[in-house]
């Protein structure tokens, strides 16, 4: 019976150094991911913290945000006033709006709406990744 249930011994590999073993640990992978994502791209355009950026929304996207998101009224009021194709938000406001949109995309059960939310989120993310307000 001992032959049948003998524990398998691992063979030591001579080329495995402590550095490479540490690089494979989940903690180091998480640390590497966080440091890589925290690095700012050098091609970001610097703007003032109170400067507003344009966000182009078509009528269905505007209605989707107004009727199906839990975005604060402070963010959605400018969408209600005049149905214009371009709305202006600061980076902070865009970041907050992107958070609400991402939450809606993650919690909707309707595949078509999820695609619309995702498409809108990626557009806003691209704008956020293109600018910095100097606070970082």
Tokens of 93: 């406001």
Q: What is the 3-state secondary structure (H, E, C) of 93-131?
A: HHHHHHHHHHHHHHHCCCHHHHHHHHHHHHHHHHHHHHE
The rounded mean pLDDT for the chain is 79
Tokens of 28: 């180091």
Domain ranges of the chain: 52-132
Can you point out the beta strands (E) in the chain? 45-46, 53-56, 86-89, 131-132
Tokens of 131: 């600018």
Quick one: the chain helix, strand, coil %, rounded to 5? Answer: 55, 10, 35
Q: Maximum distance among all alpha carbons in the chain?
A: 81
Query: Whole-model pTM?
Result: 0.64
Which is more confidently placed, 35 or 82?
82
* pLDDT of 54 over the 70 cut: yes
- pLDDT of 81: 79
Helix (H, G, I), strand (E, B) or coil at 132: strand
Distance CA 93, CA 98 (A): 8
Which is more confidently placed, 14 or 124?
124
pLDDT in tens, 101-123: 999 999 999 999 999 999 999 99
């Amino acid at each position: 019976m001992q032959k049948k249930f003998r524990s398998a011994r691992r063979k030591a590999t001579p080329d495995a150094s402590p550095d490479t073993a540490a690089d494979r640990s989940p903690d180091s992978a998480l640390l590497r991911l966080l440091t890589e994502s925290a690095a700012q791209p050098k091609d970001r355009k610097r703007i003032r913290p109170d400067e507003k950026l344009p966000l182009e929304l078509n009528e269905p996207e505007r209605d989707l945000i107004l009727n199906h998101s839990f975005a604060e009224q402070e963010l959605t009021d400018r969408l209600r006033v005049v149905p214009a194709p371009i709305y202006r938000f600061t980076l902070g406001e865009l970041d907050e709006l992107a958070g609400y949109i991402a939450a809606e995309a993650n919690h909707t059960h309707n595949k078509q709406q999820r695609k619309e939310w995702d498409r809108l989120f990626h557009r806003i993310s691209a704008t956020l990744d293109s600018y910095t307000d100097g606070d970082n």
